[in-house]
Each structure stands twice: as structure tokens, then as C-alpha cells.
Chain A
Amino acid sequence: MTATLTLSAQALTRRHGARLVAVSGVSLQLHRGEVLGLLGHNGAGKSTTLQMLTGALPPNSGKVEICGFDLALQPEQAKACIGFLPEHPPLYKDMRVDDYLLFAARLRRVPASRLAEALTQAKQRCGLQDSGRKIVGTLSKGYQQRVGIAQAIIHNPAVVVLDEPTVGLDPAQIRDIRTLIRKLGDSSSVILSTHLLNEVESLCDRVAILQKGHLIHSGSVAEMVASGTMEDAFLQITANEAPLT
């Protein structure tokens, strides 16, 4: 792959308390225009990894570089290149959708002259054209999820990090969001975590599988489905791994 490297993480480790290791020695690389799927069982460390990649949680050790900026040393430059949708969308429930998205855009340093354009574009991409005047807290879960995605992409970041973006959505919405992610993958890099294997198969170029905080597999989706179904390959990879104690 010759495209530019947008995100690189080296040996990320995060402990909760002294003993419990949530994530250990995870390294990831992402190029422009690539969609990476992060898979793993519950509690494998997917969310923790994503939080460390975006600066929401400091790693105990390891390094993250985004667009060439070190997240620990040049946090502001690095963070300007990321859009993040956490597991629980960070929504101010008492704000209007438009106000909330504009606030998110201003925080991400979208210049004042481009604010209106960025807002229209983000709303249009996430199917929120008619919801601008609504209060975020009154929207359904699916629409709140869309607002969460809209805030992550409003500043056209080079790296978009989505933690279970399609959870709680109805089938039609899932289809729309997937189309959106695929479009995002053309211009930006996308990392998404999910439990849905068919989502990975249809969206992602590469897969990384976490188990008990360790990265146990990283490769292209094509490789994984070459020998059978995605599900078989996933179960085989996660079953092979001896339990770590």
C-alpha cells in the first residue's frame, strides 16, 4: 500500500488499576482511504483501544501518531485530524441539533466562513436534513446515533473512529450508515469496532482482532474470507488462541 499513513499506534498498553490489563501492546497502522474493522468478543479491549487512539484515555505506555503528529506531544494538531464517535455518543441532550453540530465544528476549528457549509454537508450525509431544529434529547436512539456520527465527520477529519456505529439502528438506517462509511472510506481513513461480521465483510479493507487485550490477528478481509465464511474464520482465529492468564 502506497497511500500515506494517517494513523499509527505502537505498543499501546492500558491497565485498569495495578493488575487488570485492558489492552496490552497493541500496534495498528492505517493508510488514507482504508477502512479497518476492529473485532473481538465483549471486553476484548476494543473500546479502550479506540479511546487511546483518539486521546480520550491516556495509554500507560505506547505512542499514537495521527497525520504525523504525536498525540501526546502535539495533542492539538493531532486531534484536529480525528473525528470520534464513542460507544455512548457525547450528546448535549438539551441542545438543538444545529447548535450542537455547530459547537462541535467550532471546537474542531472549522473556520467561521465554512461553518454553514460544513453543517449542511454533515447533516445531509447523515440524513439529518429535517432534524436541525429538533432538541437532541427528543430524538430516537437511531437519530441520536446519526447526530453522533455527524459530529465526528463535520470537520472532514483524516481519521474517523467509530465505536459500534450501527448499534441500535433499524435495518434501513444500518444500510444508510454503511453507505456513508463506505463513502467516508474514499477520502478518509476509518476505524470501526463492531460485533457484526457481515458489517466487516461488506465495509472493511482490513481486519484487526483483539482478544483479552492482545492483538491476535491483523490482515485483509479478502484473506479471511478466502477459505470460507467470515464467521468460520473469526471463530477459528479466536478459538486457536490459548487463553492468557
Chain B
Amino acid sequence: MILTIAKKEFRSLFAAPSTWWMLALLQFLFAWFYFARMDDYLQVQAQLAQLDNAPGATIAVAAPLCSALALMLMMLIPLFTMRLIAEERRNQTWVLLLTSPVSTTHIVLGKFLGLLLLLALIVAACAAMLATLLLGTRADIGLMLTNVGGVLLLSASYAALGLYFSALSKQPIIAAAGTLGLSFGLWLLELSASDSRSFLRAISPSAHFQNLNMGLVNSADLIYFALLIAVLLWLAIRQLNDERRHA
């Protein structure tokens, strides 16, 4: 049942022209950033080469690009998540799911999985672009993989957050604005916390992404993401169950 819903969600995301626009725009921006970083790197490469232990292309180009991608996805994901539940409510298609023999858990997990599939595709497309670095230099594969994995985990957290807001709201726009507001706020928290051990950094998902961005796989960060996603999905399920059972 989860897969049925996930497949339908994935296909209907692709049926919407807006999805294609957003994907195209994202690819364009990503490519632009890529060239800009590349250009910067090539200009300073001669000087860098004289340093001991000089930064390679991966850390100078790929890692900042993944940071930028994470930021772009933060702004893009609310536009996808608002469709998942809030828009179904507005279009009165939600009742089809409500009156079908499907549990709320299956609906939420199915929708989450469907969106995750799309996000994985976006990240894979960007990773493919990064892989072109391999054509010109010996890239640090490990660093690239942690970056890609980090972006995936981060976007999964934003997707879970968006799904929860979508479950709370009847208006897609409010769901999107709420998700964007909160994820932006969490991102600002990370920026504003100067001390790396500060509590503010501990709760911000983008701060946990920083470690992966540097190529550091920390089990604490992985657990943080897993917990965050699980809690948000659980909250969404709880919210919808409450709505279903109690008048």
C-alpha cells in the first residue's frame, strides 16, 4: 500500500508542469554555480599549487556546490510538500484516501517515499554534474559521496518537515510558507551561532550537514537526521489520526 501511494505521488509530481520548471531552474542554477566555482578555482589554482597540502578540486568546487544545492532545495521542497496533503484537502481528493482501507501511517510513509524518490533524482542529476570533475582531475570520491549523502539526508528532513506542515494546514500556500519559514529560521540559527558547541547549532539540520559537507561522517549527525525525520513523520501521522478519529 505504501508503494502504491508512493508511485502515484511520484508520477503525479511529474505530471505537473511546475515540477519540470522547478527542476529545470534548479539544474540551470546549479550549472551556473558550478561554472562560477570552477572559474574561481582555476584562477587561483597556480597559487594554490605552491602550498603544502593544497585544497583539491573536490573541496574547492564540489563541497561548496553541495552547500548551495542544500540551500536551493530548502527553498524548493516546500513547494513540493504543500501538494502532498494540503492541496489534496483543497481539491477534495483527500476523501478518496480517507474512505479507502489505508491506514494513516501508510498514507504518510507513501507520500514521503514518493517525494524522496523525486529528491533522490534531483540530487542524482546534480551528482552526475559533479562527476564531470573526474574528467579533468583526480577527485576525492569519499568527500563527494558524503556530500551527496548529506544533501539527501538534509532534503529528507526538509521533506518530513514540509509533510508535517502540509498535514496541519488546509491551505497549500500556508503549508509552504510555514515550512519555508521554519527551515529558513533553522538555517539562520546555524549561521548566528558563533560557538560550534552551541545548543543552537545542535538543533539546526544545516549545522549537522556541515560535518558531512566537510567529509566528516559522524554517527551523531546520522542519528540526528534519523530522529528528526522519524519524529516529524510521527507528528504528521498523529495529527492526521487525530483528525480522523475525533470530531
Q: Write the residues of chain A forming the contact surface with B, with a CB cutoff of 8 angstroms.
A: 14-15, 51, 54-60, 72, 75-80, 82, 84, 86, 88, 90-95, 99, 103-104, 106-109, 151
Question: Is B101 an interface residue when CB atoms closer than 8 A count as contact?
Answer: yes
Beta-carbon contact of B100 and A107 below 8 Å: yes
Q: Which chain B residues lie closer than 8 Å to A51 at the CB level?
A: 95
Q: Which chain B residues lie closer than 8 Å to A72 at the CB level?
A: 245
Beta-carbon contact of B12 and A95 below 8 Å: yes
Question: Is B223 an interface residue when CB atoms closer than 8 A count as contact?
Answer: no
Question: Is B121 an interface residue when CB atoms closer than 8 A count as contact?
Answer: no
Beta-carbon contact of A56 and B99 below 8 Å: yes
Provided the pairs A15-B247, A56-B95, A60-B247 are in contact, do residues A79 and B101 lie with their beta carbons within 8 angstroms?
yes
Question: Is B128 an interface residue when CB atoms closer than 8 A count as contact?
Answer: no
Provided the pairs A58-B244, A94-B12, A95-B12 are in contact, do residues A75 and B96 lie with their beta carbons within 8 angstroms?
no
A106 to B99, CA, bound (A): 13
Q: Which chain B residues lie closer than 8 Å to A86 at the CB level?
A: 92, 95
- What are some 5 contacts across the A-B interface (CB < 8 A)? A59-B247, A82-B99, A90-B93, A103-B4, A107-B101
A86 to B103, CA, bound (A): 20
A212 to chain B, nearest CB (A): 19
Q: Which chain B residues lie closer than 8 Å to A109 at the CB level?
A: 1, 101
Interface magnitude class on chain B: 20 to 34
Q: Which chain B residues lie closer than 8 Å to A80 at the CB level?
A: 101
Q: Which chain A residues lie closer than 8 Å to B8 at the CB level?
A: 103
Q: Which chain A residues lie closer than 8 Å to B98 at the CB level?
A: 55-56
Q: Which chain A residues lie closer than 8 Å to B94 at the CB level?
A: 90
Beta-carbon contact of A77 and B99 below 8 Å: no
A132 to B228, CA, bound (A): 42
List 4 A-B pairs, minimum CB-CB distance, nearest first.
Answer: A90-B96, A107-B100, A79-B101, A80-B101
A66 to B4, CA, bound (A): 25
Q: Which residue in chain B gives the minimum CB-CB distance to A59? A: B247
Question: Is B25 an interface residue when CB atoms closer than 8 A count as contact?
Answer: no
Task: List residues 34-55 of chain B with CB under 8 A from any CB of chain A.
Answer: none
B47 to chain A, nearest CB (A): 54
Question: Is B197 an interface residue when CB atoms closer than 8 A count as contact?
Answer: no
Q: Which residue in chain A gives the minimum CB-CB distance to B16? A: A94
A25 to chain B, nearest CB (A): 15
Question: Is B138 an interface residue when CB atoms closer than 8 A count as contact?
Answer: no
A57 to B103, CA, bound (A): 15
**New A-B contacts (18) at CB < 8 Å, excluding given A51-B95, A58-B244, A76-B103:** A14-B247, A55-B98, A56-B98, A58-B245, A58-B247, A72-B245, A78-B101, A79-B100, A82-B99, A86-B92, A91-B93, A92-B93, A94-B12, A95-B12, A106-B4, A107-B1, A108-B101, A109-B1
Question: Is B97 an interface residue when CB atoms closer than 8 A count as contact?
Answer: yes
B212 to chain A, nearest CB (A): 36
A14 to B1, CA, bound (A): 31
A61 to chain B, nearest CB (A): 9
Q: Which residue in chain B gives the minimum CB-CB distance to A109? A: B101
B17 to chain A, nearest CB (A): 9
Beta-carbon contact of A79 and B99 below 8 Å: yes
Q: Which residue in chain A gives the minimum CB-CB distance to B97? A: A107
Q: Which residue in chain B gives the minimum CB-CB distance to A74? A: B101
A80 to B1, CA, bound (A): 13
Q: Which chain B residues lie closer than 8 Å to A92 at the CB level?
A: 12, 91, 93
Q: Which chain A residues lie closer than 8 Å to B91 at the CB level?
A: 92-93
Q: Which chain B residues lie closer than 8 Å to A15 at the CB level?
A: 247
A84 to B101, CA, bound (A): 12
Residue of A56, A79, A86, A90 with most partner-chain B CB within 10 A: A90
Task: List residues 43-97 of chain B with CB under 8 A from any CB of chain A.
Answer: 91-97
A195 to B23, CA, bound (A): 48
**Interface 1/0 per residue, B235-247 and A, CB below 8 Å:** 0000000001111
A151 to B95, CA, bound (A): 12
Q: Which chain B residues lie closer than 8 Å to A151 at the CB level?
A: 96
Beta-carbon contact of B15 and A84 below 8 Å: no
